[in-house]
Amino acid sequence: MTSENIISSKYTPTAVIPLLAASMFVISGCGEGEAPASGGSETAPPATVQSALPEVEIDLDEFVVLMDARLPTGPVSLRLANRGFEEHNLAFFVLESDSIVWETDGRLNPGERRSVTLDLAAGEYRAVCNFSDHEDRGMIVEFRAQENTPSGDGADG
C-alpha cells in the first residue's frame, strides 16, 4: 500500500519583501563610514576634453620661422617647436607700432616643444627670433591675424 502524501507547498511571496527590506536596512546602517556613491553627475564638466582652441604650429630652424602667413584672431594654441640645433626664441611685434605683443619665455632648446595660448587682435605682425643675429639671418616673417571666416579663400592676393 502506498500512501502518497504530497505536501502542498505554501507560497507566501509577500513574506519575502519585509525580509529584504530589513536586510537592506541593516546593510545601509553598517556602511556609514564609506563614501557616498551619489550619482549626481549633472554638473560635472567634460574633464578629458582637449583644448578646443585652434592650433597654430610654428617651427623654428636655422634660420627660418616656419608658420602660416595668416593666423586667426582670438585665443589660439601655439605649438612651438625648435627643429634646429641652436637655441631660438620667438617674439611677435605689431608691424605698425613696432610694439611687442608676445614673446617666448626665454629660448627654446634644440628639439624643445612648447604649447602656449595666445590671443591676438586683428592686425599685421612680425614674428622674429631675436636671439643673437638670427633675425638678420632670416628668422623673421610677417603674418596677419584676422577673423576666421568660412569664405575667406576668394580674396585676391
For the bound state, the minimum distance from the C-beta of residue 115 to Cu ion, rounded and expressed in Å, comes to 19
> Would you state the torsion angle of the CA atoms of residues 14, 15, 19, 24, taken in this order, to the nearest 10 degrees?
0
- When asked if residue 108 is in the footprint of Cu ion (CB under 5 A), the reply is no
Interacting span for Cu ion (CB under 5 A) from 2-10, 71-79, 97-105, 129-137: 129-137
For the bound state, the minimum distance from the C-beta of residue 82 to Cu ion, rounded and expressed in Å, comes to 8
- When asked if residue 104 is in the footprint of Cu ion (CB under 5 A), the reply is no
Q: For residue 108, count other CB atoms closer than 10 A to its CB.
A: 23
Taking the least distance from each CB to Cu ion, the nearer of 81 and 134 is 134
Q: Are strands 55-61 and 74-82 parallel, antiparallel or unpaired?
A: parallel
- When asked if residue 134 is in the footprint of Cu ion (CB under 5 A), the reply is yes
- When asked if residue 88 is in the footprint of Cu ion (CB under 5 A), the reply is yes
Place of cell 595666445: 118
- When asked if residue 58 is in the footprint of Cu ion (CB under 5 A), the reply is no
Residue 103 to residue 41: CA distance in whole angstroms = 41
- When asked if residue 64 is in the footprint of Cu ion (CB under 5 A), the reply is no
Taking the least distance from each CB to Cu ion, the nearer of 59 and 144 is 59
